[in-house]
Structure 1
């Protein structure tokens, strides 16, 4: 396994991160334990979860919330050496109850959510505490005050963001600097060959501030995982995915054809493309099975030629570069 620094920090994480969103919902505890065992054995040291993972992420369907963290906590408790072998990341923001303060990024909710995550994870500290979404109703001074207090108490070490716009990142960093804080270490964004909008402003902002990029949905909710081949074998796609397949069928045919020429699995090519970007720290693998994890772990060793990268750009064109050059003279 290859490792790299998490953004500008001194912390090193594996190029493939284990995403645990499926734990407790699509993957039971026994299978989840097997996946974590396999990941640790393979050298994956970056485990990512969220307080809301483990059930439908809806305030009206709270059943299952926290289950992913609880599964990880029980796995960590099996072997006291495991905690010091991983970089543990979780998130705060999503509704964890029906009360008016059971969500978002008030200092009140951040404190309570962190304490609850620590309890579920059966640990005394979180290595990377990530804001799951932007909360523009809460002042940055309040957010950083809450994070600073958690750092001071030793409950969290680094702070990250997820689903932030470029100007949110800049605002967060400037406010943190005014408080003599390091600010954000990482940003999780939707980024894959089919979704390249963040190339306009988010990636330039991350590069400017030295913040690591952790793409989520790296294979486009399954679109880039050889979906046409799977359908030809008789597998059925969900209605939502089927609609996307029909809209993107010419691109998918070209993409899977290129992967066949390369002799590589489409999912590996999708992950390898992301890892060729200097802004990317790690890609999140969210396997439902051990076999899926093993497949994803091949990506860091796959080197794509300049010619292949150019062909991928032709099939899945980006927004045209960075803003404003992408749309202005």
Structure 2
């Protein structure tokens, strides 16, 4: 496993991030524990979750991770643990005014609940799952600084923030003498490259590590067309909608044909491509099975030559950074 600094911090993290969204809804607790053991054995030390993960009930994923930590073996000490706050934990309370988003009250309430479910005394990275347009940034940093002073969190990160919000949030942190955001999780992959316009340049400018989520774009980049032709699971839901978009099937077919000629696995190439991009710390991989984890691990060792990278850009051209993306 390769390691890198998380943004401007001194924290070293693996170049693959273990995503845990499937733990609970799609993967049993026993299998989830086996996957985490395998990930740790392979050198993955960066585990990502969120307080709302788990299906019904929300929070179940954090509980599964907490039970894994409780097995001992220095599991917690070996892991860089990240979770998130924003959404409501109880559908029956979604209309309660102070049980969602990023008020100091909800941050305080949510971090304590996450710590209890995760069976740990601190979070390494506490991430805002979405921007909160109503809560002043100063209030958010007041809450974060208090949690840092209490030893409950070490760093703060963001998820799904636009570039301007990354800049605003870190400028306000600088004014307060706070450390600011250290990471941004965003939707970014070969097919969906709009993060290159504003989000990634802002993250690089402010020293945030970029953690792409959905690196296979819901399976679209994982050999979807070939699997369909072989009688495998057909694309459904949002993935089917993406594949039905004008020109999308032709792009994916060209992608699969290119890699088939070179004997390369589409999913592994999609992950390896992300590791070549500026500002990227490592993509989130969310395996449902141990076999899926093994495939993701091979991507770290896969080297893509300049010719292949150019061919991939030809199939999936990026927009480039703004203003050049839409102006001279």
TM-score by length of 1: 0.96
Q: Return the alpha-carbon distance in structure 1 between the equivalents of residues 313 and 235 of structure 2.
A: 26
SS in 2 for 1:224: coil
Q: Return the alpha-carbon distance in structure 2 between the equivalents of residues 222 and 202 of structure 1.
A: 23
Q: Return the alpha-carbon distance in structure 2 between the equivalents of residues 208 and 156 of structure 1.
A: 24
SS in 1 for 2:10: coil
Residues 212-231 of structure 1: CA distance to partner in whole angstroms, max 9, x if unpaired?
Answer: 00000001000000001111
Q: Which residue of 1 aligns with 2:82?
A: 89
Residues 4-26 of structure 1: CA distance to partner in whole angstroms, max 9, x if unpaired?
Answer: 00001000000001000011001
Q: Which residue of 2 aligns with 1:35?
A: 35
Q: Return the alpha-carbon distance in structure 1 between the equivalents of residues 306 and 73 of structure 2.
A: 45
Shift of 1:278: 2.5
Contact residue 25 and residue 64 of structure 1 kept, 8 A: no
Shift of 1:80: 4.7
Runs of 4+ in 1 over 3 A off after TM superposition: none
Q: Which residue of 2 aligns with 1:186?
A: 183
Shift of 1:95: 1.1
Question: What count of residue pairs does the alignment treat as equivalent?
Answer: 321
Unpaired segments ≥5 residues, structure 2: none
Shift of 1:328: 1.1
SS in 2 for 1:307: helix
Task: Answer yes or no: is 1:317 the counterpart of 2:320.
Answer: no
Q: Which residue of 2 aligns with 1:59?
A: none
Q: Which residue of 1 aligns with 2:121?
A: 124
Shift of 1:150: 0.3
Distance 1:69 1:296, change over 3 A: same
Q: Which residue of 2 aligns with 1:70?
A: 63
Residues 272-320 of structure 1: CA distance to partner in whole angstroms, max 9, x if unpaired?
Answer: 111001300011000000000010011111111111111111111111x
1:242 to 240, 243, 264: 240
Unpaired segments ≥5 residues, structure 1: 56-62
Shift of 1:243: 3.1
SS in 2 for 1:172: helix
Residues 209-268 of structure 1: CA distance to partner in whole angstroms, max 9, x if unpaired?
Answer: 111000000010000000011111112222442332233111111000111122211011
Q: Return the alpha-carbon distance in structure 2 between the equivalents of residues 281 and 172 of structure 1.
A: 20
Shift of 1:136: 1.3
**How large is the RMSD of aligned CA atoms in angstroms?**
0.9
Q: Which residue of 2 aligns with 1:326?
A: 325
Residues 27-84 of structure 1: CA distance to partner in whole angstroms, max 9, x if unpaired?
Answer: 11111011101101101000000000011xxxxxxx3200000000000001151100
